[in-house]
């Protein structure tokens, strides 16, 4: 009798994003670190938060508009290079990091800021590197040229 293999469900970037902002909140509440930004300056966090949300919504809508996948590990049908993609090869991940920065500024304590580099490292290793290899395999020289013109983050 052969066993049926059930496909393993991969965790997608929003899972890591959600874990990051929840971790920030837990750190803020349970391990009060040094206050490095005080009110009303903490309100400056609204700007990167809103910018990050806008970048994600725009990029997601643009993927739908050009009929290509937004999901990592799925083969893209088009190489998107316009809008935010002309300044960052991964504006959705940059948007997520920007939202996290906004949250950290709003909280004003040091410890939530420490979550941001951890998030960036995880996203780089688990998603960006494999995605870029897939794009290179799919689009070849066109992707090489794009990669040489546009930075990974900013």
Q: Which of 119, 111, 115 is nearest to 90 (CA)?
A: 119
Beta strands of 15-139 (E only): which ranges?
A: none
In order of 5, 41, 137, the CA distances from 100 in angstroms are 37, 16, 32
**Whole-number average pLDDT of the chain:** 91
Q: What is d(CA 18, CA 116) in angstroms, rounded to the nearest whole number? A: 12
**Is the per-residue pLDDT at 104 higher than 60?**
yes
Would you list the domain boundaries of the chain? 13-149
Q: Span 11-15, mean pLDDT? A: 91
**Is the per-residue pLDDT at 8 higher than 80?**
no
Q: What is d(CA 94, CA 85) in angstroms, rounded to the nearest whole number? A: 11
Contact 11, 123 (CB under 8 A): no
Matching residue, tokens 């806008």: 54
Task: Determine what percent of the chain is predicted with pLDDT higher than 90.
Answer: 77
Q: Over the stretch 20-49, which tens digit does the pLDDT of each residue have?
A: 999 999 999 998 789 999 999 999 999 999
Q: Which of 109, 110, 107, 131 is nearest to 48 (CA)?
A: 107
Omega into 40 within 30° of 0, i.e. cis? yes
DSSP H or E run through 143: helix 141-149
The pTM of the full predicted model, rounded to 2 decimals, is: 0.90
């Amino acid at each position: 009798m052969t066993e049926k293999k059930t496909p393993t469900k991969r965790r997608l970037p929003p899972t890591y994003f959600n874990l990051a902002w929840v971790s920030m909140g837990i750190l803020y509440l349970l391990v009060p670190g040094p206050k490095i930004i005080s009110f009303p300056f903490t309100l400056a966090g609204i700007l990167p938060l809103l910018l990050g949300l806008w970048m994600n919504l725009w990029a997601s809508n643009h993927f739908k508009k050009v009929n290509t996948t937004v999901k990592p590990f799925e083969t893209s049908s088009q190489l998107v290079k316009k809008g935010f993609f002309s300044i960052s090869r991964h504006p959705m991940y940059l948007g997520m990091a920007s939202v996290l920065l906004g949250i950290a500024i709003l909280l004003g304590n040091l410890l939530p800021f420490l979550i941001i580099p951890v998030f960036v490292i995880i996203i780089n290793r688990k998603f960006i590197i494999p995605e870029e290899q897939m794009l290179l395999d799919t689009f070849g020289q066109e992707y090489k040229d794009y990669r040489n013109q546009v930075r990974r983050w900013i």
